[in-house]
Structure 1
Amino acid sequence: MLEIKKVTDVSFARYGHVITDIDCTELAAKVKEVTPVPEDVTYVPSVPELEALSVFEEFQTKGYGELPIQIGYCNGHNKLLNGVEYHRSSEINVAVTDLVLMLGSQQDIEADMTYDSAKIEAFLVPAGTVIEVYATTLHYAPCHVDEAGFQCVVVLPKDTNLPLDEAHDRGDEDRLLAAKNKWLIAHPDAHIEGAFNGIKGENLSL
């Protein structure tokens, strides 16, 4: 059974940190108002209604040093690992509901681009918590805590996770590139179309 720790636990420090100086009350309320919670998982990189809020400029300035950003969401129902992804930049998450993140380290990816799921750790992110997930942190869709599902804001540099302009099949890390600024390793049991199936071990479930 996968132990679920809190993001306040010292072990979370290798993966990210809790942000306490950005008020996301209005943002969380808008997410509840305008975004659906499907029975599976949906991710939308950029939502105009969220980006119109005043917190957008605060994220862009404090979180990304004035780089262009996007604010989207990941909502739904999920209990499985299914895959791990990473970016060349930190990702900021706002837990609109309680949710659990399964996290790992890019440094644990082996030379053949495989990853052992036994190295994953799980963390509870309580509703209202804002976290930075470091660029070297492996992550994927959150897991829900109750049957109502989860809602999570996702802030990233602009155009992250949009479709690629060309095929990437030159081997090594290049074969992991699944979208712009998104390198993905999938578990074979997840049947993610076009993804590199490099997760060894169990497809972890909460």
Structure 2
Amino acid sequence: MLKSLTIVSYTHILASHLEPVSVRFFDLPVSMACAILDGAAFDASPSYMGGSCMLLAALRKANADLRIFTADDPDFAPYGERVPGSWSSMVAALEVSAPIPDEGVLYVTSHAPLESCADADRLRTVVFGDLPIQIGYCSGRNSTLNGLEYHKSSEVLVAAADLVLLLALRGELEHGPGGISIESSKTVGLLVHRGEAVELYSGTLHLAPCRARPDGFRAAIVLPRGTNEVLPDGVLSGDDPLLRKRNKWIMAHPERKALVDQGVLPLIRGSNREVRPVAEPA
């Protein structure tokens, strides 16, 4: 979290005079500081230039059609919450053992180096109340929505690189004469910074992350053990067409042929939403 931000040459447009002033904000969440600065003309210190606000502002500029916020923003509250604490052990294990493929997305359900790292027990107790969990990872250079899934349990993501999650709510699914569907414009973007952990509540629609930087993303994925395993014979039925694996309800965008070919129903209307990544600040 950003603790202190100094802004110089900031024009205080609400004052009776329009002259540069110097302002310091203490202990502001990143989203609040960015909201204060949004649209303002300012020269920031070098430490700020490479920081959280700069990345959020750059992503918003590159993706003007997508509402993007961070985990400390009140807008995230319906979807989930930040998991407080340091996750350096998990991040280090990811960086050593979770490669980023040159193309596509790689998802490993359970990964021993992550499940044995020092942070694993804390995640199991703090978020899942000591239930058995699995810790795998997702990595890649994905930039598009492709589909949406939800679980009837929380999911935790620990980022080892900046990434954006495209999210919607289960309550936004439309139940019409043609069945269940959702418009892709319902999705919002959650920027998750390297080293940050977020909990997605049960019923929050999501899928693989999108890269925030051109060089891709990687993140630990923590779920109740057994999630995403193949269902036993006879469990799949027309009564619940979204249920495709254990604790996994999923729908595809029609453009994501790989999912459609697996039998996932193409129920997402509108464009296959894209997150345009941004380069590191100069």
TM-score higher than 0.5: yes
Identity %: 40
* Match in the other structure for 2:6: none
Provide the secondary structure at the position in 1 that maps to 2:219.
Answer: strand
Provide the secondary structure at the position in 1 that maps to 2:89.
Answer: helix
* Distance in 2 of aligned mates of 1:4 and 1:132: 17
* Distance in 2 of aligned mates of 1:103 and 1:167: 31
Report how far residue 6 of structure 1 moved.
2.0
- Equivalent in 193, 202, 206 of residue 271 of structure 2: 202
Structure 2 spans left out of the alignment, 5+ residues = 1-64, 276-282
- Equivalent in 242, 245, 248 of residue 176 of structure 1: 242
Matches within 5 A, 1:43-58: 43-58=107-122
Provide the secondary structure at the position in 2 that maps to 1:185.
Answer: strand
Does the CA-based 8 Å contact 1:168-1:175 persist in structure 2? no
- Equivalent in 102, 117, 131 of residue 198 of structure 2: 131
Is residue 85 of structure 2 the alignment partner of residue 16 of structure 1? no
Does the CA-based 8 Å contact 2:104-2:141 persist in structure 1? yes
Provide the secondary structure at the position in 1 that maps to 2:76.
Answer: helix
Matches within 5 A, 1:48-87: 48-87=112-151
Does the CA-based 8 Å contact 1:79-1:144 persist in structure 2? yes
Query: Higher relative contact order by CA 8 Å / sep ≥ 6: 1 or 2?
Result: 1
Give the residue type in structure 2 aligned to 1:30.
Answer: A
Report how far residue 167 of structure 1 moved.
4.9
Give the residue type in structure 2 aligned to 1:64.
Answer: F
1:98-142, Cα deviation, whole Å (9 max, x unpaired): 000000000111222211111111111111111100011000000
Give the residue type in structure 2 aligned to 1:176.
Answer: L
Runs of 4+ with deviation above 6 angstroms? none
Give the residue type in structure 2 aligned to 1:122.
Answer: G
Matches within 5 A, 1:152-171: 152-171=219-238
Give the residue type in structure 2 aligned to 1:202.
Answer: S
Provide the secondary structure at the position in 1 that maps to 2:241.
Answer: helix
* Distance in 2 of aligned mates of 1:62 and 1:184: 27
* Distance in 2 of aligned mates of 1:81 and 1:166: 30
The alignment's C-alpha RMSD in Å is 1.3
* Distance in 2 of aligned mates of 1:200 and 1:147: 27
* Match in the other structure for 1:121: 188
Does the CA-based 8 Å contact 2:93-2:117 persist in structure 1? no
1:125-170, Cα deviation, whole Å (9 max, x unpaired): 1111111000110000000011210001100000111112125553
Give the residue type in structure 2 aligned to 1:27.
Answer: M
Give the residue type in structure 1 aligned to 2:134.
Answer: Q
* Distance in 2 of aligned mates of 1:186 and 1:83: 4
TM-score (normalised: structure 1): 0.95
Give the residue type in structure 2 aligned to 1:181.
Answer: N
| Higher Rg of the two aligned structures | 2
Does the CA-based 8 Å contact 2:70-2:190 persist in structure 1? yes
* Match in the other structure for 1:30: 93
Give the residue type in structure 2 aligned to 1:68.
Answer: P
Structure 1 spans left out of the alignment, 5+ residues = none
Distance 1:41 1:58, change over 3 A: same
Provide the secondary structure at the position in 1 that maps to 2:180.
Answer: coil
Distance 1:167 1:113, change over 3 A: farther
Distance 1:167 1:37, change over 3 A: farther
